[in-house]
Chain A
Amino acid sequence: MIDSIKTIPEIKKIADEVIGEVSKHLVGVENYTRSLITALLVGGHVLLEGVPGTAKTSLAKVFAESLGLSMRRIQATPDMMPGDITGTRIYNPKTLEFEFRPGPIFANVVLVDEINRAPPKTQAALLECMQETQVTVDGITSKLQQPFMVIATKNPIETEGTFPLSAVQLDRFMFRLVLDYQEKKDEVEMLKRKLGKRQKVQAVVKSSTLISAASLIHSDVKTNDEVLDYMVKVVRKTRGFPQAILGASPTASVALLNAAKGYAALVGGRDYVTIEDVKAVAFDILNHRIVLKQEAMYSPEERDITGMQQIKSMLSSSIESIKV
């Protein structure tokens, strides 16, 4: 178990060990785990989008356990109220006082399953938590646990009783990771693991280490002007897409900067950001921030209900076209 950390190269070790531990339990999720740990250490939140059964919940759970963090799961439903997430004040006849009963938001990793099934007011209650790491109930503000991260899941097929997330809300998520069905060999491997005894997930790092790693990334990873300039170019280019009505916001640029710093430390073990780091995280940061025109969403030959293929090709050609 990693219990202290002093230098950037040591941070890479955290990422490697977490990915190693998660991979013992789940198949084919290395890249997603890498993005989750990056988001956690730079204060981001993650939206996992995928059809049912693509191990979104298990991934969040195993990830939290491998870091030794507390995790709570909230199943969103159309009749859920903000108090179901934040907690409420309950009258205690013994003390003759109202007592705060904390809700499931009081954990390090909070999994909100099927976030688009929650009504708008309840979705909005999450926003304060996500932005300020605090929650206000009946006018009293309480700090949430540190580190804190929301992992929300969403089904791309919107059925009856869902409330689409607004563009502003999507913008609060650092990454949207799109989980697809696994490759066949991975699916067979997953079945094979179900045959054996279930193993317990080991925590590989102390939560205090995570906090010092996060502040180390924030203070010690440097980004030069050339890279900053590149980031701005990448983001600004999305605003001129002819197929889109909305491009990436300034929040996206900030997310790009933070995620690239995290990536440099966690994957490269480096204390400076390169153009390659930016390229590596760009798609996960930008894909949910672009709103396509209606007519661009449905390409006749592809089964592309969410317009994801379209966004993918737009982004990759746009990033390729930027001269460094």
Chain B
Amino acid sequence: MARGSRSMRAPRAVAAWAFVLAACGADDAVTLRITSWQSPEENAIDAVEFRSFEAAHPGVRIVNDPVSNSAEYREKVLTSIGAGSPPDVFLLDGIDVAAFAARDVVLDLQPFAERVGVQLGLFFPQVVEPFRVRGKLLAFPKGFSPMVYYYNRALFAEAGLAPPKHGWTQDEFLAAVRALTRDTDGDGVVDQWGTVLDRRLYAWQAWIWSAGADVLTADGARATGAIDQPAAERTLTLLTDLPKRGYAPSPSTVGRSLGYEERLFYSGRLGLMTSGHWMIPRMRRYLEQGRVQLGVVSVPRTPGHQVKTPLFASGWAVPYNTPHRKLAVELAAWMVRADAQRRRAASGLEIPTVMTVAYESAAKDRTGMEMDFLWQVPYGGVPWGARVAQYREVEKAMRDLVDRVVVDRVTVREATREAATVVDRVLSR
């Protein structure tokens, strides 16, 4: 009797649910919220992907909720996850991977990758690596960039210098910046510099690596024994001497919000500038107008050591507590598929993470810079932020290190030891 009653209930339940679904109507769409720190231009490109996802998933609506300031972005994502109301998909910066992994708030996408058609074997392995933590995959990488030096071809030619080649050395770099630094109007004041010193760790990390040294020890537990070693100190001395010797403008005048260094570069007053692929969209106008002729070259190395540069990647991640897990993972996968990456690559925003798309994009590039960027990939390393949860504090301590030398005029040795002590304390917590 009981079995019979139960068997009768099932069709009624199906009917009831059918009624619920019918009653929902077309307006009752599932809303997926996605967030990132991307610019309005990037959001416009992604909007195309959102609409195509909606077309492929009837009844699903995507709301993009970007935050332009990256610090406020992290604030928003963390707070919303903590409050139990997370975005369904969010952009995870490679240098925040360890911090998010430590809190175990991001869904492991590895088990779902194949189900949603993400073939990780087609991606650059060096770019997938930062998102792997203890066997888990915390995001589908969507784009990346190595740190490189942009150089002004015209200034090099004026100074009688041959364009630099990948794998050039620190001595060759010094010779170039010396030749490029000039007083062009003869008023006794230098108005064209060889390069610029960016105090931020991400800008000089590659220098340290390419000198065979590192910022932290191999296990990421300490800075003592790494940043205070002779190879690292020699490189830091070279870098911090640049403004002292007049080869670079004072770094303290390089205000973030003013974009001062880029202005100097666009206006032909800087020979070399370190940056990533993200600078291309801003420079494209000048390149197309022929106002500036640029080349891309690796960060200088010391003889006997290989070039090594951090690959800064970002990827689409899904919070562990999204109520729409399947749809969220599908959306994250949708955003990294080849077509989406092609569209982003066309805008010059970043290097595609899918290898074939990246080489296809480089083949279309007439400046040759895309191939130069791809040259760096085999020499790419995982940024410390993907391995060390307290990376932001490490980053700040390293900027203080440069400030101590350049602004407070302490010796490099003193500054590295101070920074190492601070970082050791931070990492021991």
Tell whether A and B belong to one assembly.
no
Binding site for A on B (CB under 8 A): none
Binding site for B on A (CB under 8 A): none
